[in-house]
Amino acid sequence: MGEEFYAVIKLISGEEIFSLVCIDENNGDPIIVLQNPVIMKIIENNFSTIVKVKPWMEIPDDDFYVIKNDKIITITEVKNKQTINFYKKYLNDEIPTEGKVKISDKMGYISTVNDARKKLEKIFKGIKDS
């Protein structure tokens, strides 16, 4: 096996894949091995830039895929640490997917609806906490 590196691969199908890549020589014919390939799409609007990430192949549970050289237009090594770290966070489930955001104390979540209702009723009725 050759050296591993992060790369963007443009396939003849038009897809652009980001993955950890290893190029293996097989009788003079290079074989590209992809580990956890994803498709990253950058969406920009007036206020922010959003990166949409999804698995390249959604149904299989495999982490490794093999592509022959004749299916590839180009491979570009990615050295941007921010992009690589973003990819690693995605793989470790540290980035919310499908628009879902995990609730945290930093977002203002301090109680349940029932607890908040009880506290507000006490304030409205003028009852002091003991």
Q: How far is CA 62 from CA 56, 59, 65, in A?
A: 11, 9, 7
Over the chain, what is the mean pLDDT? 83
With respect to residue 46, please indicate whether it lies within any of the assigned structural domains.
Answer: yes
**What pTM was estimated for this model as a whole?**
0.65
With respect to residue 32, please indicate whether it lies within any of the assigned structural domains.
Answer: yes
Tens-place pLDDT, residues 69-104: 889 999 999 998 988 988 888 888 766 555 666 666
Residue 39 has, within 13 A of its CA and on its CB side, a CA count of: 12
SS3 for 74-90 is: EEEECCCHHHHHHHHHH
With respect to residue 106, please indicate whether it lies within any of the assigned structural domains.
Answer: no
* Rounded to 5°, angle at Cα 93 from 91 and 98: 105
Residue, of 26 and 56, whose pLDDT is higher: 56
With respect to residue 45, please indicate whether it lies within any of the assigned structural domains.
Answer: yes
Residue, of 51 and 40, whose pLDDT is higher: 40
Which residue segment(s) compose the domain that 64 sits in? 4-101
With respect to residue 75, please indicate whether it lies within any of the assigned structural domains.
Answer: yes
Q: What torsion, rounded to 10 degrees, do the Cα atoms 56, 59, 61, 62 define?
A: -50
